[in-house]
Amino acid sequence: MTQPANHPIGIFDSGVGGLTVTRAVMERLPAERIVYFGDTARVPYGVKSPETVNRYAAEIVRFLLDKEVKLLIVACNTMAAVALPTITALSPVPVLEVIDAGARSALAATGTGRIGIIATPSTVQSGAYKAAIARRGGDASRTISRACPLFVPLAEEGFLDHPATRLIAREYLAPVLAENPDTLILGCTHYPLLRPLLQDEAGPSVTLVDSAAAVAADTQRILAEAGLLADADHLPHHDFYVTDAPDRLRGIGELFLGRPLPDVHLVSLGC
C-alpha cells in the first residue's frame, strides 16, 4: 500500500491534447506520478453533443479513480465546458480544469482587454471562456470567439507544421485578427501543439496563451495545501492509456514531452 501522497495524478483528454498540460505538470512537479488517459478512439469530442461528452467523461473518470488517483485534471476544454458538474459529482478527489486557468492567463497577458478565443465548437457554444473572463473581472463583450474544429484532427494526425494546417489556420484566424486582439487564448489543449504555426500566422503583436502553466501551478498549490505532494525523492513511473492507436500517442508524446514513452497501454471503455 503506497502513501496517498505518492498516488498518481490523473490527467485526461479526448486524445493527445492533454499532453500539453502533462508537460507543464511534469516540468513543475517532477516527482509526481502521472496516469494519462486519451480517448483516441472517440476523438474529437468538440463536435459531439453534450450528452455524449458527459457520458464519455464519466467513463474516463471512473477508469482513473480505479487507478487510485489523488487529483484529477480535466485537460480538455470541451469536457470542462460541458461536463464539469458530472465529473465533480463522481470524484471524491479534487478536480482541476483548464478554462478558468486559461481565462486567468489571458487577463494577465492582455493590455487592451481585446482577447481572441479559439476553441472547439462545443467550447465556443458553451460560452465558458466568456463566463470565466467575466467572473475574473474582464469585459467578456470585448472578446472575439472562433470555433476551429479542424485543428483537433490535424494535431492528432501530427500535422503540426504542415501546409494544410497553415492554410486552415489562416482561414480560421482571419476574422479574429481583423478585430485586433492583443491576446489569443488557445482554448483547446490540442492547439498548443500547433503553437509555432499559430504564432507565425497571428504575428508578433499577439500573445498566445494557454492553460498549461497555470494549471500546473494550481496543481502544486492544491496538493501542497492537502499535504499530498509526492516525496521529493520519489522516482515517478508514468502510465499512458489510450483507446486506439497507442503508437500515435507514443510518437507525438515522445516528440512533445522529450522523453521515451514505453508505457502506452491500449484499453477500451464503454460498449
Which one is catalytic: 76, 98, 168, 209? Answer: 76
C-alpha cell at 31: 516527482
- Residue 46, marked binder: yes
Helices (H), 46-181: 50-66, 77-90, 98-109, 121-126, 128-135, 151-156, 163-177
- Residue 66, marked binder: no
CB 203 to ligand DGL: min, Å: 24
Nearer to ligand DGL, 14 or 110 (CB): 14
Whole-number Å distance between alpha carbons of 235 and 240 = 17
Tracing cell 494519462 back to the chain, one arrives at 36
Region near ligand DGL per CB under 6 A, out of 3-11, 75-83, 176-184, 198-206: 75-83
Whole-number Å distance between alpha carbons of 102 and 209 = 7
Which one is catalytic: 21, 173, 176, 188? Answer: 188
Q: How far is CA 16 from the centre of its chain?
A: 9
Asked if 123 touches ligand DGL (CB under 6 A), the answer is: yes
The correct pick among 8, 10, 17, 116 for binding ligand DGL (CB under 6 A) is: 17
Residues 6 or more apart whose Cβ sits within 8 Å of residue 3? 231
Tell me, yes or no, if 271 is annotated catalytic: no
The correct pick among 143, 165, 189, 207 for binding ligand DGL (CB under 6 A) is: 189
Tell me, yes or no, if 148 is annotated catalytic: no
If one counts every other C-beta atom within 10 angstroms of the C-beta of residue 132, the result is 23
Asked if 45 touches ligand DGL (CB under 6 A), the answer is: yes
Nearer to ligand DGL, 124 or 228 (CB): 124
Decide if 230 contacts 236 (C-beta within 8 A). yes
∠ CA 138-94-230, nearest 5°, is 115
Asked if 14 touches ligand DGL (CB under 6 A), the answer is: yes
Tell me the residue type at 78: T
Asked if 13 touches ligand DGL (CB under 6 A), the answer is: yes
Binding-site residues for substrate, in ranges, read: 13-14, 45-46, 77-78, 189-190
Catalytic amino acids?
76, 188
Which residues contact ligand DGL by CB under 6 A?
Answer: 13-15, 17, 43-46, 76-78, 120, 123, 152, 188-190
